[in-house]
Amino acid sequence: MDRLDRKILRLLQEDSTLAVADLAKKVGLSTTPCWRRIQKMEEDGVIRKRVALLDPVKINTKVTVFVSIRTNSHSTEWLKRFSEVIVEFPEVVEFYRMSGEVDYLLRVVVPDIGAYDAFYKRMIARIEIRDVSSAFAMEQIKYTTELPLDYMVVDNQKSGDD
C-alpha cells in the first residue's frame, strides 16, 4: 500500500458513491489501475464493507446513552453468555471490554429516556449484572466512521504526503 492507496481510502471513507473514473482523476490515475487497487483492498479486507449511514433524528434514535457495567469476575461461561445477550440488542451499537474500573462499556441508541428505561429493563431481565451506571449524551458533537490514515504503514518508494 502506498500513498495512492491511502488517497483512495481517504476518499472512499467520505463517499463511496464516487465513480471509479472520478476517483481515478482525483488521485491521478486512469480508471483501470484505480479500479484494480480498490479490488485488491477489498480482497485484502482493508475495505471491510460499504454501507449507508442514516440520520439518527429521522430514524428516531437521537439519544445516545453510555452504559458502564461492572461484574463480579464471573465465570468464562457467564462472560460468554453476557456478550451474546448484549450483542443481539440492536440498540447496542458499540460494546467494549475495558481495562480499569469499568469492565464493559456500551453505547446504546434510543428515541428518548423512556425508551432507554424500557431497554434497560429488558437487558437486566435477560442477564444478571452487578453494577450498571448510565450516562446520557446531551449532544453529539462529532461522529465519524472515518479512521485516521496517518498511522497506516505505506511503501515509501516515491514518498508523498497525501
Binding site for DNA (CB under 7 A): 4, 19-21, 29-33, 35-37, 39
**Closer residue to its own copies in complex, CB, 31/68:** 68
67-98 as b/e, with b when 16 or more CB fall inside 10 Å? bbbeeeeeeeeeeeebeeebeeeebbeebeee
Binding string to its own copies for residues 81 to 100, with x set by CB under 8 A, is what? --x--xx--xxxxxxxxxxx
Per CB under 8 A, 69 contacts its own copies: no
CB of 142 to its own copies, least distance (A): 4
Q: Which residues of 36-52 are buried (b: 16+ CB within 10 A; e: fewer)?
A: ebbeebeeeeebeeeee
44 binds, among its own copies, DNA, none (CB under 5 to 8 A by kind): its own copies
Q: Do the beta carbons of residue 109 and residue 63 sit within 8 Å?
A: yes
Pick from 78, 87, 126: nearest CA to 107: 87
Cell of 88: 443481539
Measured from the CB atom, the residue of 24 and 64 that comes closer to its own copies is: 64
- For the record, the C-alpha cell of 89 comes out as 440488542
Copy the grid coordinates of residue 90: 440492536
Residue 32 partner contact from DNA, its own copies, none using kind-dependent CB cut-offs of 5 to 8 Å: DNA
Q: How many residues bind its own copies (CB under 8 A)?
A: 67
Answer for which of 75, 125, 151, 159 binds its own copies (CB under 8 A) is 151
Q: Which does 72 bind (CB under 5 to 8 A by kind): its own copies, DNA, none?
A: none
Q: Which residue, among 41, 32, 36, has the nearest Cα to 10 in the 3D structure?
A: 41
Residues lying near its own copies in the complex (CB under 8 A) are found at 9, 12-17, 44-56, 58-61, 64, 66, 83, 86-87, 90-102, 104-105, 109-111, 115, 135-153
